[in-house]
Structure 1
């Protein structure tokens, strides 16, 4: 046996570990203790019966899934966190109005901010899809400030309107 050990190359590191593991498996097989072919299952804790109380978060998630409210709840979450998603500057001048068929309608408080959001539409779609899941938002539609009907009253000038009124 000494001659065999002297002839064998000296192993180190991973090769030594593999050899020792192979020897241990061979010894176990000789004793009739074969290693497991399947990995052990981890205990997930005590099993719950159907009548046991559930964790609140899990109960809400199950309810949303059962009613098909997952996407509307996620959209509501995004609308509620609008400021942290788009940043405080943009959020101060815009607000999300609705989401339907992959389209988010955003209202802006001025035409300048409406133009800014239109320029950022592709970035906004990407950012919203990061929050809601890829492909959820397909486009962003922007509405400028809402100017209602012009008030009528005694102080209004009637007649033709246009450049002639201003320049004389």
Structure 2
């Protein structure tokens, strides 16, 4: 074998470029890009720049990946999603009112919840029914602490005041017709 070209193919001239193909063409393009970047002061092919540096420099964050820190594109808990939906649609006050009635024992504590039941929440006034008159009296003394616990659990302004009532006494008014007076009394003597 000789370094002589075959008959019929012209010999390459010493200063002429050969036609590049495949990998050689890619290498050549990469070298040209590196040279152009070096001339402009940037580095090419040295790895991806940190998204944190780009954010400090005023660049936008890439939309294809979120990185190591929490992002709005990461999976969210169901509670956080429902909270954001309620906030966006204006249901926050209704959800907070439902939390007072639905999570009563976790809002005020097990001791109070075992002796008192929330009945209604209307216009910021929470009606509570106590199981006995003694507990109704005790809850009236604790009214400020109960209101503070509710506001801490569900937010300010959901419950503005508390109305506490004892157990309902039996009614002696039975039927359509009744006689005015003191009600039942001892008639045996």
Q: TM-score band (shorter)?
A: 0.5 to 0.7
Partner of 2:103: 81
Comparing 69-78 with 102-111, which one deviates more in the overlay? Answer: 69-78
Name the residue aligned to 1:4: none
Instruction: For residue 102 of structure 1, report the CA deviation from its aligned partner.
Output: 1.9
Structure 2: runs of 5+ lacking an equivalent: 1-40, 43-52
Corresponding position: 1:64 with 2:86: yes
Shift of 1:136: 3.0
CA distance in 2, matches of 1:160, 1:103: 35
Structure 1 residue aligned with 2:126: 104
For the pair 1:39 / 2:56, whether they are aligned, the reply is yes
Residue 63 of structure 1, CA deviation:
3.6
In the TM superposition, 1:12-27 aligns within 5 A as none
How many pairs does the alignment contain? Answer: 126
Distance 2:168 2:114 in 1: 17
Larger Rg: 2
> Structure 1: how far apart are the matches of 2:108 and 2:182?
41
SS of alignment partner, residue 149 of structure 1: coil
Q: Deviations over 1:17-49 (max 9, x none)?
A: xxxxxxxxxxxxxxx89xx8x725666729999
2:7 maps to: none
CA distance in 1, matches of 2:138, 2:103: 20
| Superposed displacement of residue 133, structure 1 | 1.5
Deviation for aligned residue 1:87: 2.2
Contact 2:108 2:150 in 1 (8 A): no
Q: CA 1:39–1:148 in structure 2 vs 1: closer, same or farther (change >3 Å)?
A: farther
In the TM superposition, residue 151 of structure 1 has moved relative to its aligned partner by: 6.9
Q: State the distance in 2 between where 1:90 and 1:56 align.
A: 29
Query: What's the C-alpha RMSD, in Å, of the aligned pairs?
Result: 4.1
Q: CA deviation at 1:65?
A: 2.7
TM-score calculated relative to the size of structure 2: 0.50
Q: Looking at secondary structure, tell me which structure has more helix per residue.
A: 1
Which structure has more relative contact order (CA 8 Å, sep 6+)? It is: 1
Deviation at 1:145, TM superposition (A): 0.9
